Amino acid sequence: MTDIVISVKNLSKKYRIGLKEETDDTFVGAVGSILKSPFQNLKRLQKLTRFTNIQKNSDDTIWALKDVSFEVKKGEVIGVIGANGAGKSTLLKILSQITHPTTGSITLNGRVASLLEVGTGFHPELTGRENIFLNGTILGMTKREIDSKLEEIVEFSGVEKFLDTPVKRYSSGMRVRLAFSVAAHLEPEILLIDEVLAVGDVEFQKKCLGKMDAVAKGGRTVLFVSHNMAAIKSLCKKSILFSKGVLADFDQTNKVIHHYLNDNNGVEIKKSECGPDNSLTLSDSVKLVSIRLIDDENRKIEILNENSALGVEIIYNTIDMINPIVPSVNIYNNYGEILFSSINRNFKKDSHSNNGNHKYTLWIPKNTFSSGYFKAGVILSSLSYANSERLIQTIKHLSFEVNDKSLNEVVGENGREKESFLRPQFEWEYQKV
C-alpha cells in the first residue's frame, strides 16, 4: 500500500565511553585501590547496559545519534555522508538490527542485507565456499537459493581460485569482494552498505557500483555510506548528511555534498567577497584591499545565471613595488580539485611602480560552467628576473553557485556536474549539407 520502505522516528542511541580513572601514587593508596578495584569494576561493567535517566547527559555518555527521523521510499538509493563519528555506521547498525536504539523506533518493510565494514560476518576458519553458505543463510537465503546463485557469486567476486581456502588467509580485498558478492546477490529489498568498497581495487569498485545501480533499478532500496563523494554522487539521487549524531540535511545529493564539504572546512557556504585579510598577505609591500565576484553590471553575485559573465575583481595596494605584479585566478570544483587557472600574460604593459590602489578584473565568459558549486582562489606574484615570489594568496576562499537554466533544460537537474564541471559554449557551426 505505502511505498515507504524505511521509516525512522526520533531515533537516538547513547553509548557509554570510558573516563580516565584516578590512580594512587602512594603504596598504601595503591594497595587500597587493588582491593577496591573489583567493586569499582563491577560498577563500571554494570553501567555498560544500564542507563538510568536516559535524557540526562553525563560525562561518560555520548549520543551517537540524537533524534533522527527520516523516511526512504522504495527504490531509492540514498547516500549517507558525514565526518567520522557523525553516526553513519551507528545508523546502519541499528537499521540492520545489530544494536538496539536507546529511544525511538525504526520500521523496515522487506528483507535487509547489510555489509558493515571489512570481512562482514565471515567465519575465519571456514573456507570461502562454506562462508558463502554460512553468510547467505545468516542473511536469510535458503540453501537452494544459494546453490542456484553460487556460480554467479563466485564469478562476480573473482576469488574462484581461493574458494576452498579458509577465509582467514584471504587478503582484506578478497574478503570484501566475497562479502559484497554474497550480499549483492541476495536480492534483498533493502541493502545497507557501509564504506566497504574502499578496500577493493578500482576495477572491482566499478563492478560494485554497477551492481548497486542495477540493484536500485530493480526497485530495491539502498543505503550507502561512503566518504567517496564521486561514488555517492554518481549513485545516489538523494543523500543524508549527519553531523555529530544529528541529521543535518536530507536533500538532492549535490546540495548535500556541497553542504558537507563547506561545513567541513569551517568556511561559510557562499562567500563572494573577501576584504583586507592580512593572513593572506605574504609581503609588506602589497596589501589586499578586496576581492569580489561580480556580474556584468558590477554587482556582487552569489549565484551566477546563464546571462552573465563572471568577473573576479581584485583590488590591491602597493607601496614601493619595483617588480611587476602578475595576477592569476584558479577555479576549483566543489571537491577542491582545480579546474583551470588563468594568468595574466600581458602584465608587463600594466603599470605597477605607482604607489596606491590597483584593480584587476578577470572576466570569465558567460556559459562556461555547468550548474553547480565552485570555488575561486587568487594569487598575486611579483616577477623578478628568474623567479617569482608569491605576495598574496587566497586558497579557495571565494565560492559561488552557478545555475544555468538553459543548460539544465538540456542535461536535466540531476545531470548537473555529472559528466563535466565545465560546459563552455564554444563556437558551434551548423550547416545543412
Q: Is 200 or 324 the residue whose CB approaches another protein more closely?
A: 200
Q: Which is nearer to another protein, 122 or 156 (CB)?
A: 122
- To another protein, the closest distance from the beta carbon of 224 in angstroms equals 17
**Shorter beta-carbon distance to another protein: residue 121 or 276:** 121
C-alpha dist (Å) from residue 173 to 177, 196, 210, 264 = 6, 9, 18, 29
Alpha carbons 409 and 428: distance in angstroms, whole number: 18
Q: Measured from the CB atom, is 29 or 124 closer to another protein?
A: 124
Q: CA distances (Å), 200 to each of 129, 225, 264, 407, in order?
A: 20, 15, 26, 36
Beta-carbon neighbour count of residue 416 at 10 Å? 22
Choose between 122 and 316: whose C-beta lies nearer to another protein.
122
Those residues with Cβ within 8 angstroms of residue 163's Cβ, 6 or more apart along the chain or in another chain: 127, 128, 129, 154
Pinpoint the alpha helices (H) of 277-388: none
Distance CA 267, CA 269 (A): 6
Cβ closer to another protein: 166 or 173?
166
Q: How far is the CB of 123 from another protein (least distance, A)?
A: 7
Question: How far apart are CB 2 and another protein at their closest, in Å?
Answer: 24
Nearest residue (CB) to another protein, 139 versus 212: 139
Chain contacts with another protein (rule: CB under 8 A): 15, 45-46, 48-49, 93, 96-100, 112, 114, 116-117, 119-126, 135, 138-139, 166
Residue pair 421/339 in contact (Cβ under 8 Å)? The answer is yes
Shortest distance (Å) from residue 103 CB to another protein: 13
Judged by CB, which is closer to another protein: 80, or 196?
A: 196
Of 62 and 289, nearer to another protein (C-beta) is 62
Radius of gyration of the CA atoms of the chain, in A: 28
CB of 402 to another protein, least distance (A): 43
CB of 97 to another protein, least distance (A): 4
Nearest one of 379, 373, 341 to 360, comparing CA atoms: 379
Q: How far is the CB of 136 from another protein (least distance, A)?
A: 11
CB of 57 to another protein, least distance (A): 18
Q: Which helix (H) or strand (E) holds 265?
A: helix 253-265
Q: What are phi and psi of 308, to 5 degrees?
A: -125, 150
Sorted by sequence, the CB contacts under 8 Å of residue 128 that are 6+ apart come out as 159, 162, 163, 164, 165, 167, 170, 178
The Cα 165–Cα 163 span in angstroms is 6
Output the smallest distance, CB 194 to another protein, in A: 10
